[in-house]
Amino acid sequence: MRSLKPTLLDWYIIRKFIGTYFFAISLILAVCVVFDFAEKVDDFMETHAPVRAIIVDYYLNFIPYFGNLFSSLFVFVTVIFITSKMANQSEIIAIFSSGVSFNRLLYPYFISSLAIFLLSVALSNFVIPPANSTRVQFENTYVSRPNYKDQEDVHKQVRPGIFVYIQSYNPNTQTAHKVSLEHFEGKELLSKTRADMVYWDSLAGKWRMTQYYTRHYRPGRPDSLVSGESLDTVLYLLPKDLARTDKDVQTMDLWTLNRYIEEQELQGAADINESYLEKYGRVATPFSTFILTLIGVAVSSRKVRGGMGKNLGFGLGLSFTYILLQRFATMFSLLGGLPPLLAVWIPNFIFAGVAVYIYRRAPK
């Protein structure tokens, strides 16, 4: 265990790693903020967005979201930059000449990667979701209203044994047409309620049916029928459950996201893969930090003609390839039936193979 205690060399590399990482990520995010502001300044002016809201509600939440989103790629570029610089200054040669093996050289890099990985996972699951909620609310108010689409042929199991069918739902008016509510006990249908229209009464905080009838099925006895013009009812759904956007799962912390997935499983939601991709991606994407760190050190530890520029070009090429693989895997999961857990880990599996190949060719 004595060899695992960080040495002066380890602390030297860790300081360079962490310092360069935060400097690089701050620099890139500053550029992103400038471009984003230039793109949205007209929207801010048209909607009279308060300066305090722009800074506090939007950009202070925009920065951690995008910084964490591409954290592992910033790590990759950082590793290539500092290792190439050390190799060009013959520091890597001096380290190997002193008896330090390549595997031992990796130790401070992986300590730094572990710290960034843990920070990224914590941010993804507990800090950034509430920040995203504030950011998305600001965007919906001052930038662009959410694009809610009419829902058709909605089937949901809202509680065990309780099923709701909605032929069409307009999220803008919060009105549903041709609605049925069925109660089962086991496989036996107990009652069925139908209504021409159901609308959300925002003052009362409940749904109201119009032109409804309820049939109660009683084995061995005649069915009973109740009808009327209007009835307050419970659908075990809120308007927001019928008008969610793609960004909603980004605003949920780990516990809220798990509960939401349980509800989707109960309801048989068709878009449940989006929620699983968000959940699994919050670990799989930060984990790529370790893989990209290994690739970065293995590629950059050799002093070559072209030096840092050549290595950075190679690193940026691999970064774009990784992002492309992520997008392809996500689309295959959403449209092609690829399991979400496999989809988020496929880029890591492929790049892990690349890392092993490059590691074996690295100078030892």
- 157 in the same domain as 75: no
The single-letter code of the amino acid at 15 is R
* Closest of 109, 91, 80 to residue 309, by C-alpha: 80
User: Which residues fall within 8 angstroms of residue 263, CB to CB, at 6 or more apart?
Assistant: 269
Q: Of 221, 243, 265, at which residue does a domain stop?
A: 243
The single-letter code of the amino acid at 174 is Q
User: Which residues fall within 8 angstroms of residue 31, CB to CB, at 6 or more apart?
Assistant: none
Where does the pLDDT of residue 1 fall: very low under 50, low under 70, confident under 90, or very high at 90 and above? Answer: very low
Query: Does the pLDDT of residue 320 top 90, yes or no?
Result: no
Per the CB < 8 A criterion, the answer to whether 112 and 325 are in contact is no
Instruction: Give the model confidence (pLDDT) of 28-69 as tens digits.
Output: 999 999 999 999 999 999 999 999 999 999 999 999 999 999
For residue 287, is it within any domain? yes
- 13 in the same domain as 124: yes
- 165 in the same domain as 133: no
Where does the pLDDT of residue 364 fall: very low under 50, low under 70, confident under 90, or very high at 90 and above? Answer: low
- 140 in the same domain as 279: yes
For residue 237, is it within any domain? yes
For residue 70, is it within any domain? yes
User: Which residues fall within 8 angstroms of residue 179, CB to CB, at 6 or more apart?
Assistant: 164, 165, 166, 167, 194, 195, 197, 198, 209, 235
CA distance 264 to 281: 18
- Max alpha carbon distance in the chain (Å)? 94
Specify the pLDDT at position 241: 83
Per the CB < 8 A criterion, the answer to whether 129 and 253 are in contact is yes
With 0-12 / 13-18 / 19 or more C-beta atoms within 10 angstroms meaning exposed / middle / buried, residue 99 is: exposed
For residue 18, CA distances in Å to 3, 12, 240 come to 22, 10, 42
Per the CB < 8 A criterion, the answer to whether 327 and 268 are in contact is no
Q: Of 243, 258, 289, at which residue does a domain stop?
A: 243
For residue 266, is it within any domain? no
Specify the pLDDT at position 166: 92
Average confidence score pLDDT of the chain: 90
Instruction: Give the model confidence (pLDDT) of 228-283 as tens digits.
Output: 888 888 888 888 888 777 788 999 999 999 999 998 888 888 789 999 999 999 99
For residue 249, is it within any domain? no
- 81 in the same domain as 218: no
User: Which residues fall within 8 angstroms of residue 57, CB to CB, at 6 or more apart?
Assistant: 134, 135, 137, 138
- 138 in the same domain as 155: no
Query: Does the pLDDT of residue 2 top 60, yes or no?
Result: no
- 120 in the same domain as 29: yes
- 108 in the same domain as 27: yes
C-alpha dihedral (311, 313, 317, 319), degrees to nearest 10 = 70
Per the CB < 8 A criterion, the answer to whether 17 and 82 are in contact is yes
Specify the pLDDT at position 122: 97
For residue 254, is it within any domain? no
* Total domains in the fold of the chain: 2
For 71, the domain range is 8-144+273-361
- 133 in the same domain as 279: yes
Instruction: Give the model confidence (pLDDT) of 225-235 as tens digits.
Output: 888 888 888 88
With 0-12 / 13-18 / 19 or more C-beta atoms within 10 angstroms meaning exposed / middle / buried, residue 277 is: buried
CA distance 259 to 227: 36
- 97 in the same domain as 30: yes
- 56 in the same domain as 123: yes
Helices (H), the chain: 8-46, 51-52, 60-69, 71-88, 91-97, 102-122, 128-138, 254-267, 272-300, 307-336, 340-361
For residue 288, is it within any domain? yes
- Report which secondary-structure segment, H or E, holds 178: strand 175-185
Per the CB < 8 A criterion, the answer to whether 213 and 226 are in contact is yes
For residue 29, is it within any domain? yes
- 182 in the same domain as 129: no
User: Which residues fall within 8 angstroms of residue 85, CB to CB, at 6 or more apart?
Assistant: 308
Instruction: Give the model confidence (pLDDT) of 141-181 as tens digits.
Output: 999 876 666 778 888 888 899 999 999 998 888 999 999 99
Q: What is the pTM of this model?
A: 0.86
Percent of the chain with pLDDT over 70: 97
More confident of the two residues 335 and 294 = 294
